[in-house]
Amino acid sequence: MNQIRRILGIVWAILGPLAIYLMFNQAVSKVVAANSKIAAAVDEAAKVTAEAAKLNIQMQWGIIILIFVPIAFGLMIFGYYSFRGEYDRT
Amino acid sequence: MTQEIDKPSTIWKVIGASSVGTLIEWYDFYIFGSLATILSKQFFPEDQGTAALLSTLAIFAAGFIVRPFGALVFGRLGDLLGRKFTFLLTLVLMGGSTFAIGLVPGYKTIGIAAPLIILALRLVQGLALGGEYGGAATYVAEHSPVKRRGFFTSWIQTTATLGLFLSLGVILFTRNTLGVDDFNSWGWRVPFWVSILLVVVSIYIRLKMQESPLFSKIKKEGKISKNPLKESFGHKTNLKMVLLALFGAVMGQGVVWYTGQFYAQSFIENTCKVDFEQSRTILLWAIVAGTPFFILFGSLSDKYGRKWIMMAGMLLGILSYRPIYQSFLNDTSAAGHSALLQADKTVLKSQLISFDTKDAKKAYLVSKVDSVYSDGSVFKYTLTDTLYFTEAASEKRAEAAVLAYQSASDSAAPIAYAAVKAAAGTTGKDTISVVTSHASVKAAVGVEKSMGSSIFWKMVLLVFVQIVYVTMVYGPIAAFLVELFPTRIRYTSMSLPYHIGNGVFGGLVPFLSTLIIEYTKTPENPAGSPLAGLWYPIGIAAVCLVIGILYLSNKIDEDVSDDENEFVHA
Determine whether B564 is exposed, middle or buried from the number of CB atoms within 10 Å of its CB (0-12, 13-18, 19+).
Answer: exposed
Q: Which helix (H) or strand (E) holds B208?
A: none
Give the span between the Cα atoms of B322 and B336, in whole angstroms: 18
Of A12, A63, A86, the CB nearest to B58: A63
Q: Does A76 touch chain B (CB under 8 A)?
A: no
The answer to the question of residue A89 being in a domain is no
For residues A69 and A23, the answer to whether their CB atoms sit within 8 Å is yes
Q: Where is mean pLDDT largest: B37-41, B195-199, B237-241, B311-315?
A: B311-315
B116-132: average pLDDT: 86
Q: Pick from B240, B500, B511: which is nearest to A81 by CB?
A: B240
Domain count, chain A: 1
Closest to B156 measured CA to CA, from B312, B281, B24, B244 = B24
> Residue B297, SS3?
helix
Task: Give me the interface pTM, i.e. the ipTM.
Answer: 0.89
- Chain B environment of A15 (Cβ under 8 Å): 543
Residue A88 forms part of a structural domain? no
In total, the C-beta contacts within 8 angstroms joining chain A to chain B are: 56
Report if residue A90 sits inside a domain: no
Nearest to B551 among A5, A67, A77 (CB): A5
- Any A CB within 8 A of B515 CB: yes
* Shortest Cα distance, chain B CAs vs residue A49, angstroms: 10
Q: What is residue A15's predicted lDDT score, i.e. its pLDDT? A: 94
Q: Which of B551, B553, B568, B569 to mutate to test the interface with A (most CBs of A within 10 A)?
A: B551
Average pLDDT over residues A10-34: 91
Give the residue-averaged pLDDT of B181-202. Answer: 91
Separation of alpha carbons B500 and B137, rounded Å:
16
| A63 neighbourhood in chain B, CB within 8 Å | 58, 61, 65
Bigger pLDDT: B323 or B54?
A: B323
- Give yes or no for residue B105 having a pLDDT over 50: yes
Average of pLDDT values for B426-452?
52
For B243, name the nearest residue in chain A, comparing CA atoms only.
A78
Flag whether A70 is in a domain: yes
Q: Which residues of B touch A71 (CB under 8 A)?
A: 500, 504
Domain that holds residue A56: 2-83
Of B48, B54, B247, the CB nearest to A78: B247
Give yes or no for A80 touching B (CB within 8 A). no
Residue B364: pLDDT band (50, 70, 90) is confident
- Give the global pTM: 0.84
**Chain A residues within an 8 Å CB radius of B550:** 1, 4-5, 8
Calculate what percentage of chain B has a pLDDT beyond 70.
Answer: 81
Domains and CATH numbers, chain B: 3-333+451-551 (1.20.1250.20), 339-450 (no CATH)
* B31: Cα within 13 Å, side-chain hemisphere: 29
Cα(B421)–Cα(B309) distance, integer angstroms? 65
CA atoms within 13 A on the CB side of B88: 14
Q: Which amino acid is present at B442?
A: K
Which residue type is seen at A46? A
Q: Is the pLDDT of residue B114 over 80?
A: yes
